[in-house]
Amino acid sequence: MTVAAARPLLEVQGLVKHFPIYEGLMFSRRVGAVQAVDDVSFSIQAGETLGLVGESGCGKSTTGRLILRLIPPTAGSIRYDGVDLQALEPEAMRLKRRDLQIIFQDPYGSLNPRMRVEDIITEPLVIFGEKPGPALTKRARDLLETVGLASFHAKRYPHEFSGGQRQRIGIARALASHPKFIVCDEAVSALDVSIQAQVVNLLQDLQDEFKLTYLFIAHDLGVVKHISDRVAVMYLGKIVEVADKRTLYRQPLHPYTQALLSAIPVPKPRARRARMVLKGDVPSPINPPTGCRFHTRCPYAKEVCREIEPPRIAIATGHEVACHLVKAG
Amino acid sequence: MGRYILQRLIQAVPILALVSLISFSIMQLVPGDAATLIGGPSATPAELQAIRENLGLDKPFHVQLLKFYAGALQGDLGRSLLLGKPVLEATIERLPVTISISIYAMILTLFFGILAGVIAALRQNTWVDQTVMTFALLGVSIPNFWLGLMMIVLFAVHLGWLPSGGYIPWQTDLWGWFRTTTLAAVSLAVLQMGLLARITRSTMLEVLRQDYIRTAKAKGLPKHLIVGKHAMANVMIPVVTIIGIILSVLISGSVVIEAIFSIPGVGSLLGNAILRRDYPMIQGGLLFVAGSLMLMNIVVDVLYVYLDPRVRYDRGK
């Protein structure tokens, strides 16, 4: 293996996103900020799927959008294939979007109601210089078949499809420009469980076929376990634990990860297991707790957790945890 | 689609009948009488009676009304008392004037209204936005007859750039038409422009927040395509609804504006008819205006099908 091949496809360093909050009708002033994403770092190897999990509002989707520069970050760097995306001119970034795609959570809102499915799918190709015509129409039809729809669906409008079908259109659209990296932002959360499985399998088949790299954002640990190679757990804008799938599910070290995993329903009604139920709500990201952000709900919290923020340390190869209670070695 | 249009046209008939019933009743309740106006102050009671009998004004209300309906169904809206010619002919004669000015005002409204709204939305909360919206509010607040008078004072009296009134048909002299109609069209358009700018702005802001706009950005579309193609296509849907309303306001506004600028259009025809109690002219004219407005609204509703693929009139049952 050469050095270049070992370099991760995507490398996120110290990513921060604070949404300012303004108050006052006439003379608004900044009164604070929602710390949606706070010092997030991770990397994804080519061909790998990184699962990003956490509760609603923990900053997962914001992270996904920051990576694609759909919203500007407050700080931090995003390197894709060695290129700092932050430093790119808008036009250069626009051209990069060919390689970086996203599948959105809401299959209803994310498709333009005024466009036919084939136009939705071929539009990225046309703007990247391909000539509209029969060849392109055929591509759209092939893509529809790839995602399990029929080619005669191409002439229809989004409102004529069900949620699951629309999500497939969203996937076909994301695949159209032959991207290398796709952010799946809660791509299956809005779907029925039976459809979820189909779409997840579809994503895996497509990954094998087109050598795709995924950042798979979800709140459902079961789905993430199925598709991911590695999993990162987010809590209140921070990544608290990263490990390869097997290690994380077998031996979670961070108390929050343990709580999340114990909440997964098990299809054995008589199975006895220790449930770890978290008390209270997620604190406000406007005024996050000091020290470890999880200390307000952590059953093992100590004095040090309230005061000092735990650094993320490597426990084993590829297993990193940010907790005072977990010691290296 | 053909069936839908036919349905709408048939529905229009009872509405038009109701419109003329109302205008007929009001006319009967108002004191004053066409015979005295036609006969003049020197006419004797016998002469007045003769005029009434001649015009059928002595007949009972329902007879007059039924006679009017019977005529209207055959395309005969009666004969103007003052002009001495058929109402339909008098209206159609003046129609090109009003239509050309309305189209002129409509183009001004659409162009500047939508442009201002889009610019304000794209520059939301900047000085550009605030300036544009201040002018839009001003446009909505200024009465059009006052604006017309003020523009006559400025452009015709003081600066002498444009004539203060009159009308030159575009068929004979396009530049002359342009000069005589501009002030009238602008005073008609300003209110609508303000309205349209405000609606376009808020619609555009709403559309720009939609998920599919984010999708378009993620696709790698340049900004001018995101706004010009993806957003505008969806902004136009509510805007077309407003255009239907604007049309009706333009027509009613033309009564006052044509009087101010002494333009011989349908508006001034109706205005004069009202002032001089020319009953058949008012009746016929109102029916004509109501009919054309309904027709235009049908056109607008049909346009929806082309603008919004989710709208279907024929299917769905």
Q: What is the full DSSP assignment across B284-302?
A: HHHHHHHHHHHHHHHHHHH
What pLDDT shows up at residue A317?
A: 84
Q: What is the pLDDT of residues B89-138, one digit of tens each?
A: 888 888 888 888 888 999 999 999 999 999 999 998 899 999 999 999 99
Question: What integer best gives the mean pLDDT of chain A?
Answer: 86
Looking at the 3D structure of chain A, how many domains does it have? Answer: 1
Contacts of A98 in chain B (CB under 8 A): 220
Contacts of A116 in chain B (CB under 8 A): 309
DSSP-assigned letter for residue A288 = P
Task: Tell me what pLDDT residue B74 has.
Answer: 83
- With respect to residue A170, please indicate whether it lies within any of the assigned structural domains: no
Mean pLDDT value across residues B54-69? 79
Q: Which two tokens stand for residue A83?
A: 């290129």
Domain count, chain B: 2
Does A308 fall in a domain?
yes
Residue A113 DSSP one-character state:
T
B53 plus B97 within the same structural domain: no
- For residues A213 and A229, is the Cβ–Cβ distance under 8 A? no
Lowest mean pLDDT among A166-170, B63-67, B265-269: B63-67
Q: Of B234, B271, B298, give the one whose Cα is nearest residue B1.
A: B298
Residue B79 CA to residue A94 CA, distance in Å, equals: 68
Whether B289 is in a domain gets the answer yes
Helices (H), A189-263: 193-210, 221-227, 245-250, 255-262
Tell me the percentage of chain B whose pLDDT exceeds 70. 97
The fraction of chain A above a pLDDT of 90, given in percent, is 26
Q: What is the pLDDT of residue B317?
A: 42
Are residues A112 and B225 in contact, defined by beta-carbon separation less than 8 angstroms?
no
Query: Which chain B residue's Cα is nearest to A172?
Result: B219
What is the reported pLDDT for A3?
A: 43
CATH number of domain containing B248 = 1.10.3720.10
Task: Answer yes or no: are the C-beta atoms of B282 and B23 closer than 8 Å.
Answer: yes
- Which pLDDT band holds residue A1 (cuts at 50, 70, 90)? very low
Whole-number pLDDT of residue B175: 86
Asked whether the beta carbons of A187 and A102 are under 8 A apart, the reply is no
Interface mutation vs chain A, best among B124, B211, B235, B237, most A CBs within 10 Å: B211
Q: Are residues B184 and B68 in the same domain?
A: no
For chain B, percent of residues with pLDDT exceeding 90: 16
How does pLDDT run across B147-179, given as a tens digit for each residue?
Answer: 888 988 898 888 888 888 788 888 888 888 888
pLDDT for B7-22, tens place per residue?
Answer: 888 888 888 888 888 8
Structural domain of A15? 3-46+54-88+220-265+273-321
Q: Check CB contact of A113 with chain B, cutoff 8 Å.
A: yes
Residue A155 lies in a domain: no
Distance from CA of A159 to the nearest CA of B (A): 7
Q: Are B11 and B63 within one domain?
A: yes
Asked if residue B87 is part of any domain, the answer here is no
Residue A2 has pLDDT above 70, yes or no: no
Mean pLDDT throughout A203-220? 90
Specify if A173 maps to a domain.
no
Q: What is the largest CA-CA distance in chain B?
A: 85
Q: For residue B31, what pLDDT band results from cuts at 50, 70 and 90?
A: low
Q: What domain range is B51 assigned to? A: 2-73
Mean of the per-residue pLDDT values of chain B: 85
**Residue A181: its pLDDT value, please?**
93
What is the predicted pLDDT for the residue at A162?
86
Q: Is A235 helix (H, G, I), strand (E, B) or coil?
A: strand
The CATH number given to whatever domain includes residue A8 is: 3.40.50.300
Q: Examine the domain organization and report whether B56 and B113 are in the same domain.
A: no
Residue-level pLDDT at B135: 92
Chain A closest CA to B3's CA: distance in Å? Answer: 23
Query: Does A127 sit within 8 Å of B222, measured CB to CB?
Result: yes
In a domain, A152, yes or no: no
Q: Letter for the amino acid at B146?
A: W
A112:B216 CB<8 A: yes
ipTM, 2 dp: 0.78
Q: Are B253 and B188 in contact (CB under 8 A)?
A: yes
Q: Is B234 on the interface with A (CB under 8 A)?
A: yes
Q: Specify whether B27 is located in the same domain as B101.
A: no
